[in-house]
Homo-oligomer: A and B are copies of this chain.
Amino acid sequence: MSTLESQTTSIARKVTTQAVMRTVLAEGAISRTDVARLTGLSKQTVSEIVRSLEDDGWLKPSGRTDGRLGRQAITYEINADAAHGLAIDVGGTKVAAAIGDLLGNIKAEVMLPTDPRGGTHLVDHLGRVVEQLAAEAGVALADLRVAVLGTPGVFDPETGHVRIAPNVPGLENIDLRQLMGDRLGCPVIVENDVNLAALGEQWRGQGAELNDFAFVALGTGIGMGIIANRRLVRGARGAAGEISYLPLGADPFDPRNFTVGTLEAAVGAAAITRRFAGYGGPSDRTVKDVFAALAEGDGLAAAAIEETARLVAVTIASVGAVLDPEVVILGGSIGARDELVAAIRRFLPRCTPTPPPIAISRFGNRAGLIGGISVAVAHMLDELFGIPLDQAAPSVGRLLAVSQG
């Protein structure tokens, strides 16, 4: 049985079954009577539906109620092992992969160096990694229902190609979705890595419960994932949040800034080391070195980092003016550093009357992977039960509550 419905299920049964699933999903272990109360359905109907869902393996008994008066009830919960999904985060230096169940519990996870040859070699490598991961998680490869792939750059759904991914060689010339789909034998969703990180923070991180926030990743480059009205904003061509092209930090009318991105040239990792050297520091230092020097009280390092913080503050002010986010979450190898964040927090109120609160990514370099798992879960729930993840249970409650009056 691949999806919820058998052949002769009526639409009414489907709607009520979805309502039951949503309720169990939202409440966790719950008795049938409580499901009936919450959905407005009768005990009888709920019992029938739960029985059928249990027969099909989507629900399972999980225990009994206690502490309440009267007879104990059997509680039911989602059978998380009924489906599994895969997430892969492909970075310039490392790939991370994880397999999660229907509730997003991670069953196995690895992080490895990226195959430097890129392109189809990368696909092969990922294929082997996933096979091993599946074995470790105790899931047959054929049982994976969806794979979510996070990559730098802009994914074009029309061609299946990734555009503008300078850090991963050979990614732009292959139909990544097609190749990975063939290799894994399941649908593949490709998404920008920073967008996935934003979704990860939305799912179980700093953005949980928020309708509107932005995730700014600061590392080799700078990028942003936008959540507005609880949904990811991709823009018309999937390039929303590509703030490396913001006209800040350099003359926007200088055509040299077209290739790198006006802002990226000013706040990226290279900019910090360049600036450090420009102020008179050694020219062979990495960003990590500069931060180490800052910790030891080096004034040049402080100046180099302050300058970046100042520009990031103006960037956040710009984003704040456009989007009015509830919070801006900082992530990435540089963006999540306390010293930088502290400096940004100092600058921000000085360049905008309404500075958005700043938070540090909860998941660090795993945010993209977590976000990938969340997308996989959302895809599975939608496929299996027709439940959009962003349509939380409360709305269902209302829908059905109306039907009683």
Residues of A within 8 A of B (CB): 5, 7, 9-12, 14-16, 210-213, 224, 226, 228-229, 231, 233-248, 252-253, 255, 258-259, 314, 317-326, 350-354, 356, 386, 399-400, 402-403, 405
B317 & A240 in contact (Cβ 8 Å cutoff): no
Q: Count the copies.
A: 2
A145→B352 CA distance, assembly (Å)? 40
Also in contact, A322 and B326, with CB within 8 A (given A253-B350, A350-B255): no
A403→B399 CA distance, assembly (Å)? 20
Also in contact, A324 and B11, with CB within 8 A (given A247-B248, A258-B353): no
Q: Which residue from B7, B314, B319, B400 sits with its C-beta under 8 Å from A405? A: B7
Cβ contacts under 8 Å, A15 to chain B: 11-12, 15
- Shortest Cβ distance from A14 into chain B, in angstroms? 7
- Shortest Cβ distance from A283 into chain B, in angstroms? 29
Give the residue name and chain of the B residue nearest to A213 (CB): B236
- Shortest Cβ distance from A38 into chain B, in angstroms? 15
Also in contact, A323 and B233, with CB within 8 A (given A246-B318, A247-B352): yes
A319→B245 CA distance, assembly (Å)? 10
Q: Which residue from B228, B326, B350 sits with its C-beta under 8 Å from A228? A: B228
Also in contact, A252 and B351, with CB within 8 A (given A12-B12, A228-B233, A403-B10): yes
A323→B231 CA distance, assembly (Å)? 13
- Shortest Cβ distance from A405 into chain B, in angstroms? 7
Among A224, A226, A233, A255, the one with the most B-chain Cβ atoms within 10 Å of its Cβ is A233
Q: Which A-B residue pairs are the 5 nearest by beta carbons?
A: A235-B324, A236-B326, A11-B403, A252-B351, A239-B324
B318 & A247 in contact (Cβ 8 Å cutoff): yes
A255→B235 CA distance, assembly (Å)? 33
A191→B405 CA distance, assembly (Å)? 31
Q: Which residue from B16, B236, B243, B255 sits with its C-beta under 8 Å from A211? A: B236
Among A210, A255, A321, the one with the most B-chain Cβ atoms within 10 Å of its Cβ is A321
- Shortest Cβ distance from A285 into chain B, in angstroms? 28
Q: A228-B233, A246-B317 are in contact. List 7 more A-B contacts (CB 8 A).
A: A5-B405, A9-B403, A236-B324, A236-B326, A237-B324, A240-B322, A246-B318
